[in-house]
Amino acid sequence: MKNIVILISGRGSNMQAIVDAGLPGVTIAAVIANRPDAAGIAWAAARGITTRVLDHKAYASREAFDEQLADTIDAFTPDLVVLAGFMRILTPGFTARYEGRMLNIHPSLLPAFPGLHTHERAIEAGCKVAGCTVHFVTAELDHGPVVSQGVVNIADDETPDSLAAKVLELEHQLYPAAVRWFAEGRLSIDGARVRLADLAGADAAMMVPAP
């Protein structure tokens, strides 16, 4: 069994997708939020999942919060930490501690559009496609070895909201698959690249689903 700790800040729909996937060999050890009003916490608690809330506003510095967060995470002895809409810039000490065992999902085709407002920016830039990226977390925000990417078309009349909805649907497919691959011990990091062992069939399609 692999222990997974999921960090959220808000509604937690990606967390829900991972939980609902019922991944074999995966225990959701805890869901942790940095905001007391994160809707995903109530959702997880209602399903009997252990939850913790650590309000970042109660800490004097980013370092102090990250230290407490790491202690809270480590109490669950996770094999993998999953950032699922966790809206915090992480300190280098924190990212180093979980190097190679912390994943994030970002709603753009990285390295394009790290940071916020990705859908607006992709439309404004005239992109014909957009998407999402699952990647290992490094010290640099929204960078790190890419596990998988999903692509959607940007229609002529696309709005940030319509694009966000399309991309989110894809996120809910990609993220559980990536967590499963990790739990199966099939991901290996080779510089900026991530290799998936025994890549075939449905897994290959899930690594880069295209429109």
Residue 68 CA to residue 141 CA, distance in Å, equals: 20
Residue 41 CA to residue 45 CA, distance in Å, equals: 6
Residues in the site for ligand GRF, rule: CB under 6 A?
Answer: 8, 10-14, 84-85, 105-107, 132, 168, 171
Residue 30 CA to residue 20 CA, distance in Å, equals: 15
Give me the least distance between CB of 201 and ligand GRF, in Å please: 26
Q: Does residue 106 have an active-site annotation? A: yes
Give me the least distance between CB of 200 and ligand GRF, in Å please: 27
Give Cα separations from 194 to 26, 29, 131, 138 (angstroms): 21, 25, 18, 13
Q: Which is nearer to ligand GRF, 20 or 71 (CB)?
A: 20
Residue nearest to ligand GRF (CB): 85
* Cα 189 to the center of its chain, rounded Å: 17
Q: Which is nearer to ligand GRF, 14 or 149 (CB)?
A: 14
* Cα 150 to the center of its chain, rounded Å: 13
Q: Which is nearer to ligand GRF, 67 or 112 (CB)?
A: 112
Give me the least distance between CB of 39 and ligand GRF, in Å please: 8
Q: Which is nearer to ligand GRF, 67 or 162 (CB)?
A: 162
Q: From the candidates 106, 119, 135, 172, which is the catalytic residue? A: 106
Residue 11 CA to residue 18 CA, distance in Å, equals: 13
Active site (catalytic) residues: 106
